[in-house]
Chains A and B, each alone.
Chain A
Amino acid sequence: MTTDRPPGGWIAEALREHEEHEKAEAEGAGRGHSHDAGRAARAGDVSHRRELPLADRERQVLDRIDRARRRRAKVREERITMSHGAGGKATHTLIEAVFLDAFRNPLLEPLEDAARLHISGSTVALTTDSYVVSPLFFPGGDIGDLAVNGTVNDLSMAGATPLYLSAGFILEEGFPVADLTRITASMRAAADAAGVQVVTGDTKVVERGKADGCYINTAGVGIIERDVNLGVANARPGDAIIVSGPIGDHGVTIMLARGELDIEAELESDTASMAGLVAGLLDAVPGVRALRDATRGGVATILNEIAKSAGVGVLVSEDDIPVRDVVRGASELLGIDPMYVACEGRLVAVVDGAQADAAVAALRAQPLGERAAVIGHVTEGPEGIVQLKTAFGGTRIVDLLVGDPLPRIC
């Protein structure tokens, strides 16, 4: 049996939109420029393509792509897929097209890790984050310390001193109370270590099968007492880009802890509060322009956010990026790139180039920042693009991932 069917769904829609843009662009080119340029805009048209040298044609196509990328974000899928939660392009599109569209206001728009609020003469940072990690317990931590450290770190990245947290629990019918006690104990320990208190909370229980054991949401407030206004949009050419330690430990630990891969490695999650690390850095270096914790989407995603928000280029060197051998090895085996793997206790700092050494020294002065390193710098252009000088000696683009890093088959 054979059935013929035309492509439908978002494919048909994407093609229809493409044709409309093509038409509009061809008409624009036809009016404004020479006949040739109008033709070349339709780059698939073989008969006319010989008219321009290869390099010019490639440039035209790349410019066209840049225009397409700047168009308004739009969620094409009819339903949420796992890609929408992976921290890459699909997540960004969802945030811009659905959430930002619905809630738009000047406090939300910078899309920083925490919002910066002015309340009765004080500057306050507010953030929230939900934790759904599986497995709940893993080498180096569990969902409890993750839920505290993640929110504390989001506040720290705004230059705030974290103060108070809320904790909301969604528990599945049948979840062992002993596990819950273990989780709350590690939340308490993490809160003590970070100098914060859990001051309000909420509990919900859902039927068996409606959740995966235990989900936690935490929100946090902190106070910004320093005269800083950190944000990736502040990055300028010449700034140094610093990471506070080896990347990818948490993500690879989780992948291995799921037990699907039959790979064993001496590796622990890097989950930790960075409140002290950030305080030390900001005390020592006035020229810090932005801080981000490299969680979901990894360092690569942060670098792209820097390039796009500030309208600059970013150039990093693979040789300078600290990655543990065990993380590199596991990534090689799995066909994934540590640059996209989540960390839970590592920050990326954008610092005035002249103060880069001082910043690295301040980070290295603390155990959590022992392996801090300058990994690259901000460049004039190409705008919005992150480039990587590979250890092999070539150059390539480091783009946002679409969804989860998918293992390759061969």
Chain B
Amino acid sequence: MRFVDEFRDADKAHALAAKIAALCEPGRQYKLMEVCGGHTHTIYKHGLEDYLPESVTLVHGPGCPVCVIPMGRVDDAIHLASQPDVIMTSFGDMMRVPGSDGSFFDAKARGTDIRMVYSPLDSLKIARNNPDKRVVFMAIGFETTAPSTAMTLLRAQAAGLTNFSVFANHVTIIPAIKAILDSPDLRLDGFIGPGHVSTVIGCRPYEFIARDHGKPVVVAGFEPLDILQSIYMLMLQLSQGRSEVENQYSRVVPWDGNMVALKVIGETMELRPYFEWRGLGFISHSALKVRDSYADFDAELLFDVPGVRVADPKACQCGEVLKGVLKPWECKVFGTACTPETPIGTCMVSPEGACAAYYNFGRMNRTRVREAQVTRS
């Protein structure tokens, strides 16, 4: 199939794998973080780690939007959805994210009207078709999905809708990367930069990583060959002692980003002073709220939001996993109390979450395959 198969060619993968292996210095360990959950998903779905030398480890970063939503925020959303005459709309990924007393699915089973949408614009259709209801869109995601929320706000205002609002939970990627770089227990050699986020923000915002922290960044696409090539580009930089921002995904990502998208975000939303991230705690200027000029569409102003705060369960180590300090399986409750059926931590919910990806696709993968090879040789 065109536009898919050419990015999954096993022969090209073997050639790239050989080039990566050739760049490994004997005795040196390489830890590369893929920031974006979409990359994590690709890596596991295609079994990409089977191509990497043992000395190259991929660390799964915080770029899974549902994984960083704190439990209290889910409780707040369920509280909103339970108000009289409210229809809440949400992306499919959110449906299973646990709050302190169950997920959207559980709330739905208790009678609240929560509907899955593919685009926030679908919420406007629902609002128009249900004039006696109040439709609240649960907006989540990084800069990738923020423009579509912004467009929805613009259109809602243009159409003069009075029964639509947004519960904004958009987060921004750079503060999260900063939090990880400042984390004392972390040793990373380079970053696979998020592809879709960069379509919007461009590559410049990562320059501080290369300049101030001396770590190379390669913005990558989402096909398995994209990721393998970006690993090669990172390894090449490391072997040459360079630390630069490079763009592997130039077929989609403009260096300066998408000015139109940035403009509509800026028009409709503004930075919050701080926002709570699952596992990472409060990070300043790391999330977006609806701008005052769109106050009529801000669910946080229209409704009484309780502002629930739920301490992460002690056993849950999502924070360490998100920062890449722990491998998913090193978490105390991984696979026992916390499974995709009953996810305690958000990393176990979305197929982009590091834990869910490892649990679903990767269990016993690399280590056991290697062990088998060692036994044979």
B10 within 8 A of A: yes
Q: Given A77-B106, A397-B360 in contact, is the A6-B310 Cβ separation under 8 Å?
A: yes
Interface set, chain B 322-360, CB cutoff 8 A to A: 327, 329-342, 344, 350-352, 359-360
Chain A interface: which of B19-27, B97-105, B238-246, B256-264? B97-105
Contact in complex: A11, B224 (CB < 8 Å): no
Query: Please, what's the 1-or-0 string for A385-402, where 1 marks a CB less than 8 Å from any CB in chain B?
Result: 100111111111101001
Residue ID in chain A nearest B336 by CB atoms: A68
Q: Given A18-B336, A76-B342, A410-B145 in contact, is the A6-B1 Cβ separation under 8 Å?
A: no
Contact in complex: A1, B306 (CB < 8 Å): yes
Contact in complex: B109, A409 (CB < 8 Å): no
A2 within 8 A of B: yes
Residues from chain A with Cβ under 8 Å of B367 in the complex: 54-55, 58-59
Contact in complex: A392, B48 (CB < 8 Å): yes
Contact in complex: A408, B352 (CB < 8 Å): yes
Residue ID in chain A nearest B331 by CB atoms: A44
Contact in complex: A409, B141 (CB < 8 Å): yes
Contact in complex: A14, B342 (CB < 8 Å): yes
- A21→B350 CA distance, assembly (Å): 26
Residues from chain A with Cβ under 8 Å of B360 in the complex: 397, 399
A62 within 8 A of B: yes
Contact in complex: A4, B96 (CB < 8 Å): no
Residue ID in chain A nearest B352 by CB atoms: A408
Q: Which of B106, B332, B334 contacts A42 (CB 8 A)?
A: B332
Contact in complex: A407, B362 (CB < 8 Å): no
Residues from chain B with Cβ under 8 Å of A78 in the complex: 102, 106, 109
CB distance from B19 to the nearest CB of A (A): 15
A122 within 8 A of B: no
Contact in complex: A79, B106 (CB < 8 Å): yes
Chain A interface: which of B157-165, B289-297, B311-319? B311-319
Q: Given A5-B308, A18-B333, A58-B367 in contact, is the A406-B96 Cβ separation under 8 Å?
A: yes
Q: Which of B1, B38, B122, B305 contacts A410 (CB 8 A)?
A: B38
- A294→B361 CA distance, assembly (Å): 21
Residues from chain B with Cβ under 8 Å of A79 in the complex: 106, 109-110
- A82→B18 CA distance, assembly (Å): 46
Residue ID in chain B nearest A61 by CB atoms: B329
- A377→B141 CA distance, assembly (Å): 41
Q: Given A4-B310, A79-B109, A260-B118 in contact, is the A394-B336 Cβ separation under 8 Å?
A: no
Chain A interface: which of B87-95, B209-217, B247-255, B267-275? B87-95
- A33→B329 CA distance, assembly (Å): 22
Contact in complex: B100, A8 (CB < 8 Å): yes
Interface set, chain A 34-92, CB cutoff 8 A to B: 42-45, 49, 54-55, 57-59, 61-62, 64-65, 68-69, 76-83, 89-90
Query: Please, what's the 1-or-0 string for B122-144, where 1 marks a CB less than 8 Å from any CB in chain A?
Result: 10000000000000000011101
Contact in complex: B344, A391 (CB < 8 Å): no
Interface centre among B49, B196, B317, B336 (most CB of A within 10 A): B336
CB distance from A43 to the nearest CB of B (A): 6
Q: Given A15-B315, A325-B1, A393-B10 in contact, is the A89-B341 Cβ separation under 8 Å?
A: yes
Q: Which of B308, B334, B351 contacts A3 (CB 8 A)?
A: B308
A179 within 8 A of B: no
CB distance from B302 to the nearest CB of A (A): 15
B55 within 8 A of A: no
CB distance from B321 to the nearest CB of A (A): 11
A261 within 8 A of B: yes
- A292→B97 CA distance, assembly (Å): 33
Contact in complex: A260, B122 (CB < 8 Å): yes
Residue ID in chain B nearest A90 by CB atoms: B341
Contact in complex: B329, A408 (CB < 8 Å): no
Interface centre among A45, A76, A329, A390 (most CB of B within 10 A): A390
Residues from chain A with Cβ under 8 Å of B41 in the complex: 408
CB distance from B250 to the nearest CB of A (A): 19
Q: Given A2-B309, A15-B337, A407-B91 in contact, is the A391-B109 Cβ separation under 8 Å?
A: no
Q: Which of A9, A90, A397, A408 contacts B363 (CB 8 A)?
A: A397
- A6→B71 CA distance, assembly (Å): 10
**Chain A interfacial residues counted at CB < 8 A:** 71
Q: Given A65-B336, A397-B365 in contact, is the A4-B1 Cβ separation under 8 Å?
A: no
- A10→B101 CA distance, assembly (Å): 7
Q: Given A11-B313, A260-B118 in contact, is the A61-B101 Cβ separation under 8 Å?
A: no
Contact in complex: B307, A3 (CB < 8 Å): yes
Q: Which of A3, A18, A93, A328 contacts B341 (CB 8 A)?
A: A93
Residues from chain B with Cβ under 8 Å of A264 in the complex: none
Residues from chain A with Cβ under 8 Å of B310 in the complex: 4-7
Contact in complex: A14, B338 (CB < 8 Å): yes
- A21→B367 CA distance, assembly (Å): 26
Interface centre among A17, A325, A389, A402 (most CB of B within 10 A): A402
Residues from chain A with Cβ under 8 Å of B371 in the complex: 55
Residue ID in chain A nearest B11 by CB atoms: A393
Contact in complex: A395, B315 (CB < 8 Å): no
Q: Given A4-B309, A61-B330 in contact, is the A390-B336 Cβ separation under 8 Å?
A: no
Residue ID in chain B nearest A399 by CB atoms: B360
Contact in complex: A261, B118 (CB < 8 Å): yes
Residues from chain B with Cβ under 8 Å of A49 in the complex: 330
- A1→B329 CA distance, assembly (Å): 37
Contact in complex: A3, B306 (CB < 8 Å): yes
Interface centre among B4, B92, B315, B370 (most CB of A within 10 A): B92
Contact in complex: A81, B101 (CB < 8 Å): no
Interface centre among B10, B41, B44, B144 (most CB of A within 10 A): B10
A403 within 8 A of B: yes
- A77→B96 CA distance, assembly (Å): 12
A382 within 8 A of B: yes
- A6→B13 CA distance, assembly (Å): 48
Residues from chain A with Cβ under 8 Å of B31 in the complex: none
Residues from chain A with Cβ under 8 Å of B46 in the complex: 390, 392, 394, 396
Contact in complex: A64, B106 (CB < 8 Å): no
A332 within 8 A of B: yes
Residues from chain B with Cβ under 8 Å of A44 in the complex: 315, 317, 330-333
Contact in complex: B101, A8 (CB < 8 Å): yes
Residues from chain A with Cβ under 8 Å of B122 in the complex: 260
- A379→B163 CA distance, assembly (Å): 58
- A19→B342 CA distance, assembly (Å): 16
Q: Which of B47, B340, B368, B370 contacts A394 (CB 8 A)?
A: B47
Residues from chain B with Cβ under 8 Å of A65 in the complex: 334-336, 359, 363
Residues from chain A with Cβ under 8 Å of B337 in the complex: 14-15, 17-18
Pick the 8 closest A-B CB pairs, nearest first.
Answer: A394-B47, A44-B332, A18-B337, A65-B335, A406-B92, A79-B109, A393-B10, A392-B46
Show 11 A/B contacts (Cβ-Cβ < 8 Å), sorted by A: A14-B342, A62-B363, A65-B336, A76-B341, A81-B105, A82-B105, A328-B1, A393-B10, A393-B14, A393-B50, A397-B360
- Can you name 19 extra interface pairs (CB under 8 A) apart from A392-B10, A408-B93? A3-B309, A9-B100, A15-B313, A18-B333, A43-B332, A64-B336, A77-B106, A83-B105, A393-B47, A394-B47, A394-B51, A397-B363, A397-B364, A403-B96, A408-B351, A409-B91, A409-B93, A409-B145, A410-B142
